[in-house]
Amino acid sequence: MGLELGTGQLEQFWHYYQEITAGNKRMNLTTIVDWDEVQLKHFLDSLTAVSILGTSLEPRSLIDVGSGAGMPGIPLKIAMPQLQITLLESTAKKAAFLISTISTLGLKEITVLGGRAEERAREPAYREQFDVVVS
């Protein structure tokens, strides 16, 4: 995909996996919890968006609608730290998980927005404000 991940990024993916499995005990984040499967079916799948985004170091804004456990937004942020990402999640428990995970991973320029997409899309602060939308 044209990405070269450093040791720090690989460690972030490992810690993210740990957060997912721990959070999955409290709420239903994913049925896929095996390390090898998570790498392939969650992390790698999330990174397929790189083919659309390109590997430019130029900052771009991205919103992940219905982020759930943070995919594809968090894997994209780990792999492409220059992205400015908003994770939109309507479930309060999942939004709290995302906030905690972002803090644990030490990610910057990534925010969590609670609410439903249909409602937030009507707000001028969020309407037509992103370069890329993923879901």
pLDDT averaged over 10-residue windows placed end to end, the chain, 135 residues: 90 98 94 95 94 75 95 96 96 97 98 94 89 91
Amino acid 33: pLDDT: 94
| Pair of tokens at residue 19 | 């957060």
Strands of the sheet containing 132-134, edge to edge, are 110-114, 84-89, 61-65, 132-134
Amino acid 1: pLDDT: 74
Q: Are 98 and 67 spatial neighbours (Cβ–Cβ below 8 Å)?
A: yes
Amino acid 26: pLDDT: 93
Q: What is the dihedral of CA 78, 31, 26, 66, to 10 degrees?
A: 60
Alpha-carbon span 105 to 120, nearest angstrom: 26
Amino acid 68: pLDDT: 95
Alpha-carbon span 106 to 41, nearest angstrom: 24
Amino acid 55: pLDDT: 67
